[in-house]
């Protein structure tokens, strides 16, 4: 006999289903494949199974929650978001067990203990404060006429009564917090009571961690278009802003779309398309320099966007230079008629939230923010902050970007930061005038400004905008807001999904 503890895979579903039917004989339905797939997408490390001779016979499912949002008075439906798991939060502090079962044929192997040991190891590995579970008390119905839940628990703790769930959990170093009422609808054996239990991680550290730090400082650069006599002069201006934002301990520095356009001046004798292709030859060097600045100044830099040529095609790419040396990119998907006509830019085909040391963010370039599907896909992947570098020549063009960005913040319960170029650039064809006003937008609810504008720069003036945003407010909004746009979506009627998946 070979026993293995490992991560659950979606290919295990049929065996998982068969074992669950046996484990919960008479208690109703089983977990649907789509639900298991969602859990594996949200938190693959938290879904653990045991195989015996290659057959799945036991399983433990869990999520991470920001427990203070729920407290010690909650139901199973509330903690799981009615089985949709919108409550899962990668930056939470508690591992919450939502399922453990063992096929009855294999219970003599003490597989449940192995599952709990695996959970404890996971809790320690990812530095969570504790494990909490709402444990059923399936033998309570045999004693409910004579014992209150409190009295029943006491007798189980004293080993006067055996309960297959509670006795097992107590033997695995869990301790009772309180009795939960109306916890699991339809649980007649437990009379819909449950016992809230917890296991404390003695290795838990409260050491500050940027991934779990709720206050994120954004630095936005409202970039003045100006002539540069050399590439070194351009670098000097970039470093000035990075240095300044670093001095204010910004976590992110956002530059505008095509902020390196002044370097087109030396190619002004060429056709506009040819000039942009020439500028693209400088992008690798510029990106490398900015990546060095990100490390040197300890700031995540969103390097606006720059032209890149690949296989003869011109792309508009925003690079995220992480302060730990990693590099991420986003290619503008929606190309404006002007970009297509004058430069022949090709649209990208990847949309994905980016993991940073401050949580998940999204990047969209200018025109992209006018298409709500993109930001919704990012929000569904856990994005908390959306960065939008833009380049607009007229005030009405800017207004489109601004108002759409504000809408994206409200409908996706996230922050949106926008930054663009300002001023005139007479020495470069098709880049003559710019209008811009950097800003940070918020959702619209009591915890946020009444106009949903966290801060904004003076229009058409070179400056920086430094803004703190609180991710905890987003979590509270998501769970307790006046309206809950992400939770209240009618996914039974419509959905937004990727058709073409790109890695």
Which pair of structure tokens corresponds to residue 109? 């192997």
Q: Is 213 left (phi over 0), alpha (psi -120 to 50) or beta?
A: beta
Instruction: Yes or no: say if 465 and 440 are a contact pair by the CB < 8 Å rule.
Output: yes
Which pair of structure tokens corresponds to residue 487? 């939770």
C-alpha to C-alpha distance for 469 and 479, rounded to whole angstroms: 18
Residue with tokens 């044929």: 105
Q: Which helix (H) or strand (E) holds 356?
A: strand 354-356
Q: Is 188 a catalytic residue?
A: no
Q: Is 366 a catalytic residue?
A: yes
Q: Point out the catalytic residue in the list 289, 332, 352, 454.
A: 332
Q: Point out the catalytic residue in the list 189, 257, 339, 413.
A: 257
C-alpha to C-alpha distance for 159 and 167, rounded to whole angstroms: 8
Residue 162, burial from CB neighbour count under 10 angstroms (0-12, 13-18, 19+): exposed
Which pair of structure tokens corresponds to residue 141? 């119905």
Q: Point out the catalytic residue in the list 358, 366, 404, 421.
A: 366
Which pair of structure tokens corresponds to residue 240? 């000035």
Instruction: Yes or no: say if 301 and 320 are a contact pair by the CB < 8 Å rule.
Output: yes
Please give the full DSSP string across 248-308, using - where no structure is assigned.
TT-SEEEPPBTTTGGGGGGGTTS-HHHHHHHHHTTHHHHHHHHHHHHHHHT-EEE--BEEE
List of residues 6+ apart from 441 with CB closer than 8 A: 405, 406, 408, 409, 415, 416, 417, 418, 452, 453, 454
For 364-376, give one letter per residue: b (16+ CB within 10 A) or e: bbbbbbbeeebbb
Please give the positions annotated as active site. Answer: 257, 332, 366
């Amino acid at each position: 006999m070979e026993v293995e503890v490992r991560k659950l895979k979606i290919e295990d579903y049929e065996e998982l289903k068969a074992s669950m039917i046996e484990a919960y004989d008479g208690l109703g339905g089983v977990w649907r494949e789509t639900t298991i797939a969602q859990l594996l997408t949200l938190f693959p490390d938290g879904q653990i199974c045991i195989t015996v001779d290659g057959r799945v016979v036991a399983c433990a499912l869990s999520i991470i929650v920001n427990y203070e949002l729920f407290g010690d008075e909650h139901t199973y439906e509330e903690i799981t978001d009615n089985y949709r798991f919108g409550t899962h939060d990668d930056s939470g502090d508690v591992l919450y067990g939502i399922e453990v079962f063992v096929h009855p044929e294999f219970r003599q192997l003490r597989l449940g203990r192995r599952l709990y040991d695996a959970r404890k190891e996971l809790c320690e590995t990812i530095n969570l404060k504790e494990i909490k579970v709402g444990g059923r008390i399936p033998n309570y119905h045999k004693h409910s006429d004579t014992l209150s839940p409190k009295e029943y628990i006491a007798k189980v703790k004293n080993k006067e009564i055996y309960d297959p769930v509670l006795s097992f959990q107590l033997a695995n170093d869990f301790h009772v917090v309180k009795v939960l009422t109306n916890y699991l609808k339809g649980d007649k054996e437990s009379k819909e009571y449950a016992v809230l239990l917890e296991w404390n991680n003695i290795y838990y550290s409260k050491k500050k961690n940027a991934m779990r730090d709720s206050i994120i400082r954004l630095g936005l650069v409202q970039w003045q278009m100006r002539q540069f006599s050399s590439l070194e002069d351009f670098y000097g201006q970039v470093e000035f802003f990075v240095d300044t934002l670093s001095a204010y301990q910004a976590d992110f520095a956002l530059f505008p779309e095509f902020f390196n356009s002044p370097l087109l001046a030396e190619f002004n004798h060429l056709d506009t398309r040819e000039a942009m292709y020439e500028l693209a030859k400088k992008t690798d060097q510029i990106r490398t320099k900015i990546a060095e600045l990100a490390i040197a100044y300890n700031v995540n830099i969103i390097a606006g966007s720059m032209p890149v040529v690949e296989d003869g095609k011109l792309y508009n790419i925003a690079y995220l230079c992480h302060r730990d040396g990693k590099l991420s990119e986003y290619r503008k998907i929606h190309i404006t008629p002007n970009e297509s006509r004058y430069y022949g830019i090709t649209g990208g085909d990847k949309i994905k939230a980016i993991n940073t040391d401050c949580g998940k963010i999204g990047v969209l370039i200018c025109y992209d923010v006018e298409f709500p599907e993109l930001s919704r896909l990012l929000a569904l992947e856990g994005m908390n902050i959306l960065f939008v570098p833009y380049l607009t020549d007229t005030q009405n063009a800017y207004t489109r970007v601004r108002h759409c960005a504000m809408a994206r913040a409200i409908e996706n319960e996230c922050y949106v930061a926008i930054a663009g170029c300002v001023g005139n650039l007479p020495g470069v064809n098709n880049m003559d005038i710019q209008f811009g006003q950097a800003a940070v937008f918020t959702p619209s609810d009591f915890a946020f400004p009444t106009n949903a504008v966290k801060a904004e720069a003076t229009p058409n003036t070179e400056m920086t905008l430094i803004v703190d945003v609180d991710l905890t407010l987003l979590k509270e909004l998501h769970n307790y807001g006046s309206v809950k746009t992400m939770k209240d979506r009618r996914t039974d009627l419509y959905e937004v999904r990727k058709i073409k998946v790109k890695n």
